[in-house]
Amino acid sequence: MRRLEVLPYHDEWPQEAAAEAARFASALAADPRLLEIHHIGSTAVPGLAAKPTLDLLPVVTDLACLHEARAALEALGYQWRGESEIPNRRYFPRSAPDGARLAHVHCFPAGDVAIHRHLAFRDYLRAHPDIARAYAALKLQCAQLHPHDGAAYTDCKATFVHRTLTDALAWAARDPGATKT
């Protein structure tokens, strides 16, 4: 089993995310139903330690465009996972030939509450470096405790993530311009 690694922030992650977004979008062949693609997750927060896996959140007007582009997406190495336990999501992981996960692509229809939740969490960490530092320390600790168990790593962070998401949503509600769409 591959060892879980949490790395210091890499300045290249935003450019890598932009390239991954362009790669994903290319499979949709300029379909106007693809509205935008957000870089989310820890690699989207400057200074935050992260697993070196890019998280993207494409927003579409109609999930059907993803079904129509399935063959093109799979040809680019994206795995079709459907909702994968989250209603209204279409999930596409992409891995390197050696099995290392390169990207998690979480697609949602415009207006889905999950979009706001992901952006609020990301932008809250960007705006609160002290919280981001505490999260980084926890992630490193959880990776040390559970170096070969991704589920245990995620569980280890769960209380912090839930509390921070609650704070992020309250923060975004107080200042609707705080979350960048």
CATH number at residue 161: 3.30.460.10
In a domain? residue 23: yes
In a domain? residue 7: no
State the pLDDT at residue 181. 56
Q: How far is CA 134 from CA 21, 44, 66, 178, 179, in A?
A: 29, 16, 37, 21, 21
Domain containing 106: what range? 13-174
State the pLDDT at residue 25. 97
d(CA 61, CA 58): 10
In a domain? residue 77: yes
Region at 73 (left for phi over 0; alpha for psi -120 to 50; beta for the rest): alpha
CA atoms within 13 A on the CB side of 151: 0
State the pLDDT at residue 179. 75
d(CA 144, CA 58): 32
Total number of domains in the chain: 1
In a domain? residue 30: yes
State the pLDDT at residue 30. 87
Tell me the backbone φ, ψ of residue 49, rounded to 5 degrees: -65, 145
State the pLDDT at residue 1. 64
Residue 74, token pair as written in the block: 């799979």
> Over its length of 181 residues, how does the chain's per-residue pLDDT go in tens digits?
688 999 999 999 999 999 999 999 999 988 999 999 999 999 999 999 999 999 999 999 999 999 999 999 999 999 999 999 999 999 999 999 999 999 999 999 999 999 999 999 999 999 999 999 999 999 999 999 999 999 999 999 999 999 999 999 999 999 877 776 5
In a domain? residue 1: no
64 contacts 22 by C-beta, under 8 angstroms: no
State the pLDDT at residue 121. 98
In a domain? residue 179: no
Residue 149, token pair as written in the block: 């168990």
In a domain? residue 71: yes
Q: What is the pTM of this model?
A: 0.94
In a domain? residue 46: yes
Buried b (16+ CB within 10 A) or exposed e, 124-143: bbbebeebbeebbebbeebb
